[in-house]
Structure 1
Amino acid sequence: MISRVAVVPHPPLLVPELVGGAVAETQAVRDACLAAARDLAAHDLDWTAVAADPSGPRVLENVAGSFLGFGVDVPVALAEGASSVEPALPLPALVAGWLREHAGARSVRVHLVPPDLPTAECVALGAELGGRALLVLGDGSHRHGEQAVGRADDRAEPFDDQVHKALVTADVEGLKALDPGLADELGAAGRAAWQVLAGVPGAWRCTRAEFSAPFGVGYHVAVWEA
């Protein structure tokens, strides 16, 4: 039964080799994600993970890959001694593998769901997930301020405020209430994964939560414990 959760974003900028001279500018987000991941590893060395990706639904485990598609050949693996290589691992799986290695965990089994998975199906999947430690990967809106991808949208701030409030208070009903259509319009790739979290059984409390949008994209980091 899942009893510890870490919520993190999955931007490539978490990996220092991919950001060149901008390592200092990205350090705060990286440090927050690594702290949450290390908290998860201290609870259990074998993780379950969930994220949204167009290649879903599928499950990835015991494979290795690389960030080469993002500019630099930084190898990662979803498990120690991974038995096979997948040349084009999706970004959430790559980040899950990178966090696993840097947090000292043994394995991570990544459930990828379609970005448009309806809320009820997200919640149903959450109720079925196994393991003791859950890594939830997903970005907030990419329409914050002058650095927004595409164009800024005034709805981005209240949307991510709603997500942050739900994470801070461990409010699963608040996560279930997120509007999939609005999330899609705002480029909030984490919506489906957060709603999977909303279906995980348990009485939760949040021990850590923060939000930032330093590059026009909302980054949520949180830790929940049963």
Structure 2
Amino acid sequence: MLVAAAVCPCPPLLVPEVAAGAASELDDARTACADALGVLAAARPDLLIVVGPADDGHAGPYPAGSTGSFEGFGVALSVRLGSPPGDTAAAGRALPSSLALGAWLVDRARWSGAAVEGLAVGERLPADSCALTGKELAARADRVALLVMGDGSACRTVKAPGYLDERAADFDTAATRALGDADLPALSSLDAALAYTLKAAGRAPWQVLAGAADGAGLAGQLLYADAPYGVGYTVAAWS
């Protein structure tokens, strides 16, 4: 059963070494993410699952000990998803960037509790499939926590990665409100096609969260919402 969740954005710029001289611009977001991870730790889960977006070629489960890096962003920094029994790195695919950032946040929080696993979700996964995936995750253990990585639209300004789209602000406002209020119907009803057009990579992970939280009775708390660089970033904690 889902007992807690943290929602965090997944720009590699959250890692100070990647952001370099611009690192201070996301200090508030980093602080909010740390606070959200604190809510997960306080819930004392048996299992923590990091959920994030990925292209179809990298979608799927990632076991404890899976590794990733930020070398593609010019930084020689490696991360590992939790510490498996025996404290050895798991062989297999490298973590996609969203899960690598999740692993970095977990490590930064000095996580020492439950086992940590990962699940990368295809950005075009239909809403009903997201809900089913979430229900399956919630059934994995008696006390499950989710760290849900994902950005809102990337079309808030003319300098945004997706250029300006007048629909982006309304989409982000609705998604942020739903995440802050733990509004499951509102999250489940986010338009997948519009989200994809707006480059809102968080849509599928958020709808996985909605499926996992069905029947859990969790309340939400909005910790951060902004659109630096023209991309919607939201941090929320559910408990």
Q: Determine if the TM-score, normalized by the shorter chain, exceeds 0.5.
A: yes
1:49 aligned residue: 50
Match for 2:108 among 86, 102, 111? 102
Q: What per-residue deviation string (whole Å, max 9, x for no partner) do you get for residues 97-140 of structure 1? A: 10110112244211112111111000011111124211111000
Shift of the alpha carbon at 1:56?
4.3
> Do structure 1's residue 92 and structure 2's residue 101 form an aligned pair?
no
Task: Report 1:91-170 matches (<5 A).
Answer: 91-106=97-112, 107-129=115-137, 130-131=140-141, 132-170=144-182
Amino acid at match of 1:174: A
2:74 aligned residue: 71
Q: In 2, distance between residues paired with 1:56 and 1:114?
A: 8
Shift of the alpha carbon at 1:87?
7.2
Shift of the alpha carbon at 1:96?
1.3
Shift of the alpha carbon at 1:197?
0.9
Q: TM-score by structure 1 length?
A: 0.93
Shift of the alpha carbon at 1:211?
1.1
Q: Which moved more, 1:4-13 or 1:205-214?
A: 205-214
Match for 2:186 among 174, 187, 192? 174
Structure 2: any 5+ residue segments left out of the alignment?
Answer: none
Amino acid at match of 2:53: A
Q: What per-residue deviation string (whole Å, max 9, x for no partner) do you get for residues 137-184 of structure 1? A: 100000012431131111000000110111122110000110000001
Q: In 2, distance between residues paired with 1:49 and 1:65?
A: 13
2:6 aligned residue: 6
Q: Which moved more, 1:37-46 or 1:105-114?
A: 37-46
Q: What per-residue deviation string (whole Å, max 9, x for no partner) do you get for residues 43-88 of structure 1? A: 2364112122113431112222221111101121102224236674
Identity across matched positions, percent? 40
CA contact (8 A) 1:167 1:209 kept: no
Q: Secondary structure at the match of 1:49?
A: strand
Q: In 2, distance between residues paired with 1:189 and 1:124?
A: 19
Q: TM-score by structure 2 length?
A: 0.88
| Superposition CA RMSD, Å | 1.7
CA contact (8 A) 1:207 1:222 kept: yes
Q: In 1, distance between residues paired with 2:133 and 2:41?
A: 23
- Change in 2 beyond 3 A, CA 1:210/1:139: same
2:227 aligned residue: 213
Structure 1: any 5+ residue segments left out of the alignment?
Answer: none
Q: In 2, distance between residues paired with 1:6 and 1:192?
A: 15
Q: In 2, distance between residues paired with 1:185 and 1:156?
A: 10
Q: Which runs of 4+ in 1 moved over 2 A?
A: 41-46, 80-89, 207-210
